[in-house]
């Protein structure tokens, strides 16, 4: 759902309808309501095209060929497509690293390719965005000296690759979202995306030339929702284009993990789903009952000897469980809105 400066309103009217048409329309409306609401708990079922697409959907159009470098005490990993049209800088969240955004390959043996991070990068590369990821110095990003270090890294990398004439955009998630909101005062971005983060706007002077800002957030986190609702009108009052995309929970299925995680086959995916159902981690409709971090699924997996999940993929499954609950997690499901936002602010 895209909002500009506040909540959108839709008005529906009925004019000159015959009785049969009205009956048909009422039936259709009832059908939609049944599809949107499960039983009496009134949880909307999201229509997420990306959720139904497999992890390898970009295989025919783009391949990972990342370049790994070390500068100013930190790692940076990047890839430039043929004929790039923009540069995308991505800042990870707490406990993240640049290696999370890229699949393991001959040029990056340490890369781990977490499911949502890798899909964001592949989406960018497929749209001819040059992508740059940088690791924070500590567990989370800091807003002082590190901001200047990253500013210099981005400028150096852009200059080295002769990309100065291209629009520069940024996406930051959680801690990275706060970082990007502050970094936007040091680097001239065409637009930014703050994911599961409300930004630092209550702790900084926002200039009128601040870049257009898109909030990609999970309204189940009501505290963050409230902050975003407070900040959007303030930014808009300064003439800054601002919008928000809401990310809601979705049900797991027997194929979810095979669809979204490289290395998980259909058999393992189905067994994981059945384990979560038998342990009561998900409800009858496949929805997570608790945040993935608060669900003791790893212990249940250890006790079940019939599910041969590669240990290196445990964090990948964890990410998808967090995402399904939709409280706080990196997400690629809104890639279409994210990159349309970037592309609409590049002229």
Instruction: Give domain status of residue 199, yes or no.
Output: yes
Which 3 state secondary structure label does DSSP give 346? coil
Banded pLDDT at 347 (limits 50, 70, 90): confident
Domain match, 171 and 215 both: yes
- pLDDT tens for residues 301-324? 999 999 999 999 999 999 999 999
Domain match, 197 and 102 both: yes
Instruction: Give domain status of residue 143, yes or no.
Output: yes
Banded pLDDT at 49 (limits 50, 70, 90): low
Q: Which residue range forms the structural domain that includes residue 271?
A: 251-325
Domain match, 138 and 257 both: no
Domain match, 179 and 290 both: no
Q: Are 120 and 91 in contact (CB under 8 A)?
A: no
Domain match, 284 and 154 both: no
Residue 48: its pLDDT value, please?
54
Domain match, 167 and 198 both: yes
- Which pair of tokens denotes residue 60? 């025919």
Instruction: Give domain status of residue 14, yes or no.
Output: no
What's the CATH code of the domain at 122?
3.40.50.1820
Quote the number of domains for the chain: 2
Domain match, 200 and 127 both: yes
Instruction: Give domain status of residue 165, yes or no.
Output: yes
Q: Phi first, then psi: give them for residue 242, nearest 5 degrees.
A: -145, 145
Instruction: Give domain status of residue 39, yes or no.
Output: no
Residue 269: its pLDDT value, please?
98
Domain match, 80 and 216 both: yes
Q: Are 214 and 341 in contact (CB under 8 A)?
A: yes
Order of strands, sheet of 242-246, starting from the edge strand that comes earlier in the sequence: 2-4, 242-246, 213-217, 191-195, 168-173, 86-91, 129-134, 74-79, 67-71
Residue the block writes with tokens 């800091």? 142
Q: How far apart are CA 243 and CA 232, in angstroms?
A: 8
Average pLDDT, whole number, for the chain?
Answer: 88
Domain match, 151 and 206 both: yes
Instruction: Give domain status of residue 52, yes or no.
Output: no
Domain match, 207 and 151 both: yes
Instruction: Give domain status of residue 132, yes or no.
Output: yes
Domain match, 175 and 316 both: no
Instruction: Give domain status of residue 6, yes or no.
Output: no
Banded pLDDT at 111 (limits 50, 70, 90): very high
Q: Does the pLDDT value for residue 23 go beyond 60? A: no
Domain match, 305 and 245 both: no
Q: Does the pLDDT value for residue 288 go beyond 60? A: yes
């Amino acid at each position: 759902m895209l909002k500009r400066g506040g909540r959108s309103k839709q008005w529906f009217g009925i004019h000159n309808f015959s009785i049969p048409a009205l009956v048909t329309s009422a039936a259709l409306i009832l059908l939609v309501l049944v599809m949107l609401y499960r039983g009496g708990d009134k949880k909307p079922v999201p229509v997420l095209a990306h959720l139904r697409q497999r992890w390898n959907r970009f295989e025919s159009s783009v391949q990972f060929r990342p370049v790994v470098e070390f500068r100013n005490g930190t790692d940076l990993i990047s890839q430039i497509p043929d004929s790039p049209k923009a540069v995308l800088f991505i800042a990870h969240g707490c406990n993240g690293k640049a290696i999370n955004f890229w699949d393991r390959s001959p040029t990056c043996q340490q890369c781990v390719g977490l499911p949502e991070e890798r899909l964001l990068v592949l989406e960018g590369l497929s749209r001819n965005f040059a992508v740059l990821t940088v690791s924070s110095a500590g567990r989370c990003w800091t807003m002082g000296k590190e901001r200047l270090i990253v500013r210099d890294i981005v400028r150096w990398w852009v200059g080295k690759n002769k990309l100065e004439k291209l629009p520069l955009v940024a996406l930051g998630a959680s801690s990275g979202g706060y970082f990007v909101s502050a970094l936007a005062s040091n680097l001239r971005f065409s637009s930014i995306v703050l994911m599961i983060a409300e930004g630092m706007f209550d702790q900084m002077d926002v200039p009128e030339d601040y870049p257009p800002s898109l909030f990609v957030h999970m309204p189940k986190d009501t505290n963050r929702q409230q902050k975003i609702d407070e900040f959007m009108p303030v930014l808009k009052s300064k003439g800054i284009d601002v919008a928000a995309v809401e990310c809601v929970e979705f049900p797991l299925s027997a194929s979810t993990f095979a669809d979204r995680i490289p290395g998980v086959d259909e058999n393992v995916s189905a067994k994981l789903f059945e384990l979560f159902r038998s342990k009561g981690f998900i409800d009858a409709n496949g929805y997570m009952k608790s945040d993935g971090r608060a669900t003791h699924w790893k212990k249940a997996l250890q006790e079940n000897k019939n599910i041969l999940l590669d240990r290196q993929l445990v964090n990948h499954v964890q990410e998808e469980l967090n995402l399904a609950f939709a409280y706080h997690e990196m997400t690629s499901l809104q890639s279409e809105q994210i990159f349309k936002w970037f592309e609409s602010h590049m002229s």
